[in-house]
């Protein structure tokens, strides 16, 4: 279910950036909202699209509470990547809600691309591993 994926994406941001009771409070609030939203969605499958979409976007923006900690502990680049992912996710949700671009036309790639491109910045901003290692790049070179 999408709620679990959204909360699962935000969890590393809280674990890496927040500390103490603030981290625990944010994680408890986020996962409580996630379980509640999933239960409501399962019980009320015919909920209005605006209500369901607002829940998705609202839950995704809960991760913004971790942004100051990401900014100070992981750096400006990680904070900007996290913010860019949130903005792209919101833009994709708005395009989906408005049905513009029209999904039946070939230019519908814009909607899918704005939603799909929001995941890499979110993951990159919370990742502790490096994507490029100079030591690995030199393997096999004379």
Question: Domain segments of the chain: what residues?
Answer: 2-130
* This prediction's pTM: 0.63
Tell me the pLDDT band of 129, cut-offs 50, 70 and 90.
very low
DSSP state for residue 106 in the 8-state scheme:
G
- Quick one: tokens of 18? 């927040």
Question: How far, in whole angstroms, is CA 82 from its chain's centroid?
Answer: 8
Q: Which residues contact 86 (CB under 8 A, 6 or more apart)?
A: 60, 61, 63, 64, 118, 122
How crowded is residue 73: how many other Cβ atoms within 10 Å of its Cβ? Answer: 14
Q: What does the alpha-carbon distance between residue 61 and residue 83 come to, in Å, rounded to a whole number?
A: 10
| Tens of pLDDT, residues 4-55 | 888 888 898 888 888 889 999 999 999 998 998 888 888 988 888 888 888 8
């Amino acid at each position: 279910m999408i709620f679990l994926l959204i909360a699962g994406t935000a969890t590393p941001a809280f674990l890496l950036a927040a500390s103490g009771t603030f981290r625990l409070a944010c994680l408890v609030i986020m996962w409580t909202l996630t379980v509640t939203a999933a239960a409501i969605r399962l019980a009320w499958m015919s909920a209005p699209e605006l209500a369901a979409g607002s829940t998705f976007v609202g839950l995704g923006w809960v991760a913004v509470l971790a942004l100051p900690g990401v900014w100070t502990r992981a750096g400006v680049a990680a904070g900007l990547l996290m913010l860019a992912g949130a903005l792209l996710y919101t833009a994709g949700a708005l395009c989906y809600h408005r049905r513009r671009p029209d999904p039946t036309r070939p230019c519908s790639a814009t909607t899918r691309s704005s939603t799909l491109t929001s995941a890499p910045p979110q993951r990159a901003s919370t990742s502790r591993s490096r994507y490029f290692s100079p030591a690995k790049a030199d393997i096999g070179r004379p």
